[in-house]
Each structure stands twice: as structure tokens, then as C-alpha cells.
Amino acid sequence: MLKVKNINVSYGSVKILWEVNFHIDEGEIITIIGPNGAGKTTIVKTLMGLLKPTSGTIQLNGNPIHQAPTHQIVKDGIALVPEGRELFPKMTIMENLQMGAYTSGDRENTLEWVFDLFPRLEERQKQSAGTMSGGEQQMLAIARGLMSRPKLLILDEPSLGLAPIMVNKVFEIIKILNSQGVTVLLVEQNIHHALEASNRGYVLETGRITLEGVSSELLDNNHVKEAYLGM
């Protein structure tokens, strides 16, 4: 579905990503793990067309998208739930959802689907986003991402700052979405949870993919255990 080939990405003269390669097959849940500053968010911004690689290619179902504008990439079926959620705090839940729907024709059905997944949002649709709890805000951020009916949903640290029960809820939603046919790319610091939920994973360190494999094998890998699981 998605094929990232030898991408290099810089901010000005500072090179952040070095010859990054990975792929996502349709139906998979893929995790990218790595320490702070490794370049994980830089990868997802590049996938969304918010940054352009200096070289390398990104293909979605065989079509190049690395030069495409973000709105086209959203239309092509990729959505991002950004790090830090980036909601519009003064707008209501409904207005935030509508902001995610700008490409979607069938808005009513999509809203129904999203409210089925997140009944709390339907009950609270007139509440302003900034007054919701952290967990509710994360659910809204995911719901907004779904409003464009993505085939590939990218979540950048969705469990950050959440209590364990909400973390479980986030991963539960990810699994439900995946069972409904949504392919998922997950960037997480909550490595144990993320690797348990995913099919395969990649380790990104100082802008380079240093390890990749089936998630259960990564969980058992000595470097991953020592560097990321504190074992």
C-alpha cells in the first residue's frame, strides 16, 4: 500500500532523515519506535506532504505522492492524528469533526460511523473541545482524522500523557478500526503496547532505520529490551 524508498529529509541545512526505507501492506498495523528527536514526527509530516524529501520516493498504491500537496494526499486516503492532537480548543466537538471532513462527500454516514465508535462525542457534540479531558480530546483527535475516511490512518503518539485506562482505550479503538479495514501506522513511545498491537515494527534512531521485523520478534530483541523496555 505504502512504499517509502530512500528518503532524505532536512530542515534547512540540518539533515534529519537518512535513506529511510519502509513499507506498509494493506490491512497491517505498523509501529515506528525510537527515542525523542529520532525523526518520527518528521517521517509522518513527510508522508502527509508537509515536508518534502530532498531525495527518495513515497508511493501510495504504486503512485508517487512525495511531491503531492497535503489536501491531495488526504483525498488519496491518508489521514494524520497529529502529535499533541492540535484540536481547535474554542470550537465545539462537532465543529472540530467538520474540520476533518472537508474532502468527504458522504458526511452523514461518516459522522454516524464515528459516533458509533465514540458515543461520548455524540453526547457532547456542542461542548468546546478545550474543556474536554485529555482522554476525550485524544478520542476527538482520532475521530477528526477519521472524518476524511482514510484507508491509512497515521497516529503520532496517541497515548502520550494518558492514564493507563485511556491508553488501553486508544489501543482498543486502533484494533477495532483495523478490523474494519483501516490500515494503521503508529508512532509510539509506549513501546510495549505498540508492539503488542502491531504486526511489524521499525526502530528509528538518529534518523536511520536501525532495526525492523515482526513485532513479537522486536519485543524479544535484546537491543529493544535494553534501550526501550528497560529490561
Ligand X SMILES: Nc1ncnc2c1ncn2[C@@H]1O[C@H](COP(=O)(O)OP(=O)(O)OP(=O)(O)O)[C@@H](O)[C@H]1O
- The letter for the amino acid at 24 is I
Among 16, 33, 162, 184, binds ligand X (CB under 6 A): 16
E-strand stretches of 44-146: 55-60, 63-64, 78-81
Residue 37 binds which one of ligand X, Mg ion, none, with CB within 5 to 8 A depending on kind? Answer: ligand X
**Interface positions, 209-228, toward ligand X (CB under 6 A):** none
List the x/- string, 24-63, binding to Mg ion by CB under 5 A.
----------------xx----------------------
Measured from the CB atom, is 45 or 149 closer to ligand X?
Answer: 45
Query: Which stretch in 19-27, 78-86, 165-173, 208-216 sits in contact with Mg ion by CB under 5 A?
Result: 78-86
DSSP 9: E
DSSP 32: E
Q: How many helices (H) and strands (E) does the chain have?
A: 10, 10
Asked if residues 146 and 77 have their Cβ atoms less than 8 Å apart, the reply is no
Asked if 40 is part of the footprint of ligand X (rule: CB under 6 A), the reply reads: yes
- Quote the least distance from Cβ 36 to ligand X, whole Å: 4
Residue 178 binds which one of Mg ion, ligand X, none, with CB within 5 to 8 A depending on kind? Answer: none
172: nearest Cα among 157, 193, 156: 193
Residue 38 binds which one of ligand X, Mg ion, none, with CB within 5 to 8 A depending on kind? Answer: ligand X
All three cell numbers of 140: 476527538
Partners of 209 in the beta sheet? 204
160: nearest Cα among 189, 137, 139: 189
Measured from the CB atom, is 79 or 204 closer to ligand X?
Answer: 204
Asked if 150 is part of the footprint of ligand X (rule: CB under 6 A), the reply reads: no
CA-CA distances (angstroms) from residue 32 to 102, 157, 198, 221?
Answer: 28, 10, 10, 15
Binding interface with Mg ion (CB under 5 A): 40-41, 83
Binding site for ligand X (CB under 6 A): 11, 14, 16, 34, 36-42, 83
